[in-house]
Chains A and B, each alone.
Chain A
Amino acid sequence: MAAIDQTQVKEGVDQETVDAVREVGGKYKYGWETEIEMEYAPKGLTPDIVRLISEKNEEPEWMTEWRLEAYQRWLTKEEPDWAMLDYPEVDFQDQYYYARPKSMEEKPKSLDEVDPKLLATYEKLGIPLKEQMILAGVEGAEDAPAEGRKVAVDAVFDSVSVGTTFQKELKEAGVIFCSISEAIREHPELVKKYLGSVVPVSDNFYATLNSAVFSDGSFVYVPPGVRCPMELSTYFRINAENTGQFERTLIIADKGSYVSYLEGCTAPQRDTSQLHAAVVEIIIEEDAEVKYSTVQNWYPGDENGKGGIYNFVTKRADCRGDRSKIMWTQVETGSAVTWKYPSCVLRGNDSQGEFYSIAITNNHQQADTGTKMIHLGKNSKSRIVSKGISAGVAQNTYRGLVSMHPKAKNSRNYTQCDSLLIGDKCGAHTVPYIEVKNNSSRVEHEATTSKVDDEQMFYCRQRGMDEEEAVALIVNGFAKEVLQALPMEFAMEAQQLVAISLEGSVG
């Protein structure tokens, strides 16, 4: 974090903000490695590797075929180069596509049988896999009182799911929460119906790659009318060297259901870059609601830009039913390169999509992230709030699409993206696409602190605040609102971020 320490910060930027960014992007706390005996598939990607992954997961024939088809499609695809990202070419044949701890060879029947080393790894990360009342993010969680909140965790270590907690209790509520490999074996009818229905196999280069080689991930099915009794969470850990992690998450919220899902991720500190290409698909039926929150904290590389995770992620939610609702919240602090656009397809009438994002880049990090709001249903609503903070020599880009289909009458979008530069060597960019194809919809896009709500401004000024003070107050309040959209479990990270104000920001 030398970069920030030496940086002359321009007037109007809070010292508190600078400290907060330093704290967040500071020394990487999760850079250690677990020494554990691993089993690898040979390096490189061939149909045999795809078959091997499928075999290791004990998948049925149809799944193997699905993967092989994806592999063939992948061969015809070109890596996208439109993002404002600059990184050395990735050699896709110089990667391990499958790595699992030796001890996982025999599937443990319960959490008690899981290798203690793995449990210790997650313990160290602050993700207890013991089934107990926990209140994550707070020290001494293990001693938390019985009325503490419950969070069910699916822990993914390199290519395999280590274990999923609270499965029994969830089952009683009718909720299925397990690893995707388990779901393929146990619930093939659901997987067959929904897998690839939101992010098709040939969607984009990375999604196609993922379709061919995804090794594990989480599966959630919430039956009609069920409010999931606890938060669901997946924790991804990359441990092995030169190994790509390709996880696949499939969430189905049936009619009138509700689920809140959290995702966290870390990786050891290494000189070489590692690949992470995930796909998340969410299906939301009538009146259902899904809240998806991410704190992405992959290893960002060192101060000189050496190492770090290349994060190429395709996330999409399909609001199929009327009045369905999706809310994406993301805090992006890690990764050397981020390429990520959690999107909402608002197909149902009165459906609703929300996207709240805070992306912090420091040193040599690069992030090109944003969202797509595709309005197809009548009276659909969407809201985008994006805050990009750039320090060191980092580049931070918001890239988004708001599309109003001719049939999406009376729809509404509001977009606000602010960015803040700390130091004069970094960059902040905004690339919004707006496509309005009917006139009853309203689309508003703004990116500036001076466009704070006039009424609030007037109220503050009337009570004797000067303009700058008033703007600071309103904007600060606003940033908090975004952070409060995060569930309790991310409270610790969020607290640090609250200190970030966007005074002196540029649109």
Chain B
Amino acid sequence: MAALAKKQEATAARLAEMAVPSGGQWITEAREAALARVKGMGLPERRDEYWKFTRPDTLVQSEVAEAATFETGEAPLFDEIERLKVVFVDGVFDAAQSDDLSAEGLVIERLQDVAGADIHWAKDLYGKLELKGQDPVQRPLAALNTAFASDGLVIHVTGKVSKPVNLIYKHAETSSDAILHHVIKLDAGAELTVLENGPAAARFNKVMEVDVADGAAFHHVRAQGRDHERRAVTHIFGRLGTESVFKSFTLTVNGRLTRNEAVLELTGDDAVAHVAGACLGDGDFHHDDTVFVTHDALNCESRQVFKKVLRNGAVGVFQGKILVKPGAQKTDGYQISQSLLLDEDSQFLAKPELEIYADDVACSHGSTSGAIDEDALFYLRARGVPKDIATDLLVMSFVAEAVDEIESETLKDSVLARLEGWLERRRD
């Protein structure tokens, strides 16, 4: 217990440097409660079991490590897609670069504006799904976000929205420290696609709480910025109603440190939740996918598909869990985490977990790690394909299973094009 007291002490000292933003009564209550949570559990430390494979110190400490911005000359992802653009620069909403936020079937508000109100529907969600996601595993960085986030979007989706909402996170200052908190509420039968891209800041802490009502569908495609030195911790908390759909895909090709947590709870029967990710890491790259799916209803389906291609000392981490609660019969849970290590220095660390309290379920998980298949490489080279191109072809086929989780063909194509571009740049 002495360890916890020490941790709490260090946390209190760190938090004293930060100020909880001011706002209306409802949000002040939510922020104060979250602050008390962080103080109670303490900020993550290296010895914490949930941070076994990833060092949290740079995400927690006072000073932000500098990160230079990086230009590839490539057009930003999703540029060719018709969408509603919302731009944040270093974690601050930029109205001038953004589109008009009004659109059919949804209401988009800024957290800052909503926070000033005495009462708002977001009261029932802001920090609430995050709180739910703290049990059984603590996620102090998400609570920290709830307490200190001053910007973000509050989106209410009432119908089927045809145009995706594209959140673009621009990075300008070399030592920016951004905290963003989005709340998305989908009414029964509503549909929304959210696209996210950009490096955001030198250090980025983002939480997205998504409430998917009965029969609603939420699609999420994200590409995490190209800046080599950025560090990011993100959380998605999702609650799924009956016959709802939640699909999320993340592409990560750069960044010194990335920790993406997805915490999904299937509370209505026949819900479907897919979380997928592809990451290509080169050099000083540490990427951590931590997923926790809770089945608490009948006949639900969940999939976790993660592919990691690593080289030059890159580190890939996967911590996945399927929890099937008593009574969640006919659950179909699937989990796969695979890594392709392109050289001797790279590492893959995984903990694919199952916790099952219902007997009529089909849950499976697989995890593999290894080098590129020499036979396949030989086959391609025997047919005149140069070695580097053959390798890239095999890399593309390796990540394909994860990219296939994206439902929209247009989005899938743009992600694949981005992957190819990345490989091509590294070919010489």
Closest-by-CB residue of B relative to A399 is B353
Q: Does B101 interact with chain A (Cβ within 8 Å)?
A: no
Chain B residues numbered 290-343 whose CB sits less than 8 Å from any CB in chain A = 326-327, 329, 339, 341-343
Q: Does B54 interact with chain A (Cβ within 8 Å)?
A: no
Q: How far is the CA of A1 from the CA of B365 in the complex (A)?
A: 31
**B349 x A436 contact (CB < 8 A):** yes
Q: How far is the CB of A83 from chain B (nearest CB, A)?
A: 12
- Could you pull out 16 A-B pairs where Cβ atoms are within 8 angstroms? A10-B359, A424-B358, A426-B359, A427-B356, A430-B352, A430-B365, A434-B352, A435-B348, A439-B346, A443-B368, A447-B366, A448-B362, A448-B363, A448-B365, A506-B356, A506-B362
**B354 x A430 contact (CB < 8 A):** yes
Residues 355-377 of chain B, each 1 if its beta carbon lies under 8 Å from chain A, else 0: 11111111111111111000000
Q: Does B74 interact with chain A (Cβ within 8 Å)?
A: no
Q: Does B428 interact with chain A (Cβ within 8 Å)?
A: no
**A427 x B348 contact (CB < 8 A):** no
Known: A425-B326, A448-B364. A434 touches B369 (CB 8 A): yes
Q: Does A336 interact with chain B (Cβ within 8 Å)?
A: no
Q: Give the top 7 A-B pairs by smallest Cβ distance, nearest first.
A: A448-B364, A439-B341, A421-B359, A507-B364, A442-B370, A434-B350, A436-B369
The contact size tier of chain A is: 35 or more
The one of B49, B327, B345 in contact with A82, judged by C-beta atoms closer than 8 angstroms, is B49
The one of A11, A434, A440, A443 in contact with B344, judged by C-beta atoms closer than 8 angstroms, is A440
Q: Does B234 interact with chain A (Cβ within 8 Å)?
A: no
Q: Does A423 interact with chain B (Cβ within 8 Å)?
A: yes
Q: How far is the CA of A419 from the CA of B365 in the complex (A)?
A: 12
Q: Does A451 interact with chain B (Cβ within 8 Å)?
A: yes
Q: Does A125 interact with chain B (Cβ within 8 Å)?
A: no
**B351 x A432 contact (CB < 8 A):** yes
Closest-by-CB residue of A relative to B321 is A431
Residues 486-507 of chain A, each 1 if its beta carbon lies under 8 Å from chain B, else 0: 0000000000000000000011
Closest-by-CB residue of A relative to B337 is A434
Question: 5 new A-B pairs (CB below 8 Å) besides A434-B352, A438-B341, A439-B346?
Answer: A422-B359, A425-B326, A432-B352, A443-B368, A445-B368
Q: How far is the CA of A435 from the CA of B367 in the complex (A)?
A: 11
**A507 x B354 contact (CB < 8 A):** yes
Q: How far is the CA of A440 from the CA of B182 in the complex (A)?
A: 43
Closest-by-CB residue of A relative to B2 is A78
Q: Does A450 interact with chain B (Cβ within 8 Å)?
A: yes
Q: Report chain A residues within 8 Å CB of B341.
A: 436, 438-439
The one of B348, B351, B359, B366 in contact with A436, judged by C-beta atoms closer than 8 angstroms, is B348
Q: Does B166 interact with chain A (Cβ within 8 Å)?
A: no
Q: How far is the CB of A261 from chain B (nearest CB, A)?
A: 32
- Residue with the greatest number of chain B CB neighbours at <10 A, chosen from A421, A423, A436, A446: A436
Q: Report chain B residues within 8 Å CB of A507.
A: 354, 363-365
**B367 x A424 contact (CB < 8 A):** no
Known: A451-B364, A507-B363. A429 touches B327 (CB 8 A): no
**A438 x B351 contact (CB < 8 A):** no
**B365 x A447 contact (CB < 8 A):** yes
Closest-by-CB residue of B relative to A415 is B367
**A435 x B356 contact (CB < 8 A):** no
Residues 386-423 of chain A, each 1 if its beta carbon lies under 8 Å from chain B, else 0: 00000000000000000000100100000000010111
Q: Does A444 interact with chain B (Cβ within 8 Å)?
A: yes
Closest-by-CB residue of A relative to B349 is A435
**B356 x A428 contact (CB < 8 A):** yes
The one of B344, B361, B363, B368 in contact with A438, judged by C-beta atoms closer than 8 angstroms, is B344
Q: Does B224 interact with chain A (Cβ within 8 Å)?
A: no
Q: Does B347 interact with chain A (Cβ within 8 Å)?
A: yes
Q: How far is the CA of A451 from the CA of B360 in the complex (A)?
A: 18
**B368 x A444 contact (CB < 8 A):** yes
Q: How far is the CA of A433 from the CA of B49 in the complex (A)?
A: 12
Q: Report chain B residues within 8 Å CB of A433.
A: 350-351
Q: Does A352 interact with chain B (Cβ within 8 Å)?
A: no
**A439 x B351 contact (CB < 8 A):** no
Q: How far is the CA of A448 from the CA of B348 in the complex (A)?
A: 22
**A434 x B348 contact (CB < 8 A):** yes
Known: A424-B327, A447-B365. A439 touches B344 (CB 8 A): yes
**A442 x B368 contact (CB < 8 A):** yes
Chain B residues numbered 368-392 whose CB sits less than 8 Å from any CB in chain A = 368-371
Q: Does A441 interact with chain B (Cβ within 8 Å)?
A: yes
Q: How far is the CB of A110 from chain B (nearest CB, A)?
A: 53
Q: Report chain B residues within 8 Å CB of A439.
A: 341-344, 346, 370-371
Q: How far is the CB of A432 from chain B (nearest CB, A)?
A: 6
Q: How far is the CB of A180 from chain B (nearest CB, A)?
A: 35
**A442 x B369 contact (CB < 8 A):** yes
- Residue with the greatest number of chain A CB neighbours at <10 A, chosen from B363, B364, B369: B369
Q: Does A437 interact with chain B (Cβ within 8 Å)?
A: yes
Q: Report chain A residues within 8 Å CB of B344.
A: 406, 409, 438-440
Q: Report chain B residues within 8 Å CB of A445.
A: 350, 352, 365-368
Q: Report chain A residues within 8 Å CB of B365.
A: 430, 445-448, 507
Q: How far is the CA of A468 from the CA of B2 in the complex (A)?
A: 54
Q: Report chain B residues within 8 Å CB of A430.
A: 352-354, 365
Closest-by-CB residue of B relative to A433 is B351
Chain A residues numbered 196-240 whose CB sits less than 8 Å from any CB in chain B = none
Q: Report chain B residues within 8 Å CB of A431.
A: 351, 353
Q: Report chain A residues within 8 Å CB of B346.
A: 439
**A427 x B355 contact (CB < 8 A):** yes
Q: Report chain A residues within 8 Å CB of B361.
A: 506
Q: Report chain B residues within 8 Å CB of A443.
A: 367-370
- Residue with the greatest number of chain B CB neighbours at <10 A, chosen from A426, A440, A441, A506: A506
Q: Report chain A residues within 8 Å CB of B354.
A: 428-430, 447, 506-507
The one of A82, A421, A429, A448 in contact with B366, judged by C-beta atoms closer than 8 angstroms, is A448
Q: Report chain B residues within 8 Å CB of A432.
A: 350-353, 367
Q: How far is the CB of A388 from chain B (nearest CB, A)?
A: 11
Q: How far is the CB of A64 from chain B (nearest CB, A)?
A: 31
Chain A residues numbered 147-206 whose CB sits less than 8 Å from any CB in chain B = none
The one of A423, A435, A437 in contact with B359, judged by C-beta atoms closer than 8 angstroms, is A423
Q: Report chain B residues within 8 Å CB of A421.
A: 356, 358-359
Q: How far is the CB of A474 from chain B (nearest CB, A)?
A: 16
Known: A424-B326, A439-B346. A434 touches B367 (CB 8 A): yes
